[in-house]
Amino acid sequence: MRPLRSNRILFLGPEAHRLNKVAAEHGPKSPQAQGRLRRILLVARIDVALMFLIVFDMVAKPFNWG
């Protein structure tokens, strides 16, 4: 099971398509393309960090005292 699959489908895929359009229109070094790329990378980093936290919680069970 992939816990954040909907995030990838609902945000990252469409945003990547928008980035491609902006990069084709204005160039990959344009401020518009760089802003969209930064946003994609931020969301991807949050996605990975959250996934690591979920895996850590499942493996270490830090709140299982009983």
d(CA 10, CA 6): 6
Residue 53 lies inside a defined structural domain of this protein? yes
pLDDT at residue 1 in the model? 43
Contacts of 11 (CB under 8 A, 6+ apart): 43
Residue 65 lies inside a defined structural domain of this protein? no
> Which residue's structure tokens are 């895929």?
13
Instruction: List the domain range (segments joined by +) for residue 21.
Output: 5-60
**Mind listing the pLDDT tens digit for each residue in 5-39?**
555 678 888 999 999 999 999 999 999 999 999 99
Number of structural domains, the chain? 1
Residue 15 lies inside a defined structural domain of this protein? yes
Residue 66 lies inside a defined structural domain of this protein? no
Q: Which helix (H) or strand (E) holds 53?
A: helix 31-60
Tokens of 31: 């401020």
Residue 56 lies inside a defined structural domain of this protein? yes
Residue 11 lies inside a defined structural domain of this protein? yes
